[in-house]
Structure 1
Amino acid sequence: MNSQLFYKIKTRTNYNRFFVFILLYLFVNHALLAQNKDFVVVLDAGHGGKDPGKVNSHNAKEKEIALSIVLRVGKLLEEENNLKVVYTRKTDVFVDLWERGRIANKADANLFVSIHCNAHNSQASGAETWVLGTHANSRNFEVAKAENSVILLEDNYKTNYKGFDPNSPESVIGLTLMQEEYLDQSIQLASIIQNGFTTKLNRVNRGVKQAGFVVLHQTYMPSVLIETGFITNNAEGAYLNSDAGQQKFAESIYKGIIKYREQLTLNTVSNINLDIAQVKKRESSKPVPTRDVEESTYDAEFKVQIASGSRKLETHAYNFNGLDNVERIQFGATYKYFVGGTSDYSRIKEILQLVKSKGYTSAFIVAFRNGDKVSVDDILKKS
Structure 2
Amino acid sequence: MKKLYLSSLRGIIGDWVYYPTLMKLKDIAERVEIAEELYKSKPLSDMVQRYIKIKRGKEIKNYLLQQPQRFFNSLIVAVHEGDPSWYDITNIKSNNQLDVEDIPEDVIAGIGILSLNGEERLFTLDGQHRLIGIREAVKEDPKLGEDELSIIFIAHKTDPEGMKRSRRLFTTLNKNAVQVSKGEKITLDEDDAMAITVRRMVTENPMFRDNRILNNATDNIPNSNQTCLTTIGNLYDILDILFTKVYVTSKKKGLKEKRDELTKIRQSDDILEQHYINACDYFRQLTNSFIPLRKFVNTPDYPTVVKGYRHSDGGSVLFRPIGLKILTEIVATLVEKYPLTECFSLISKLPTELTQPPYNPVIWNPSRKKIMGSRPLARNLLLYILNYPTKNVDRLHEDYAKILGLEPEKVKLPQKVS
Tell whether the structures are fold-level matches, with TM greater than 0.5.
no
Q: Higher strand share goes to which structure?
A: 1
TM-score scaled by structure 2? Answer: 0.24
Rg bigger for which structure?
A: 2
TM-score scaled by structure 1? Answer: 0.26
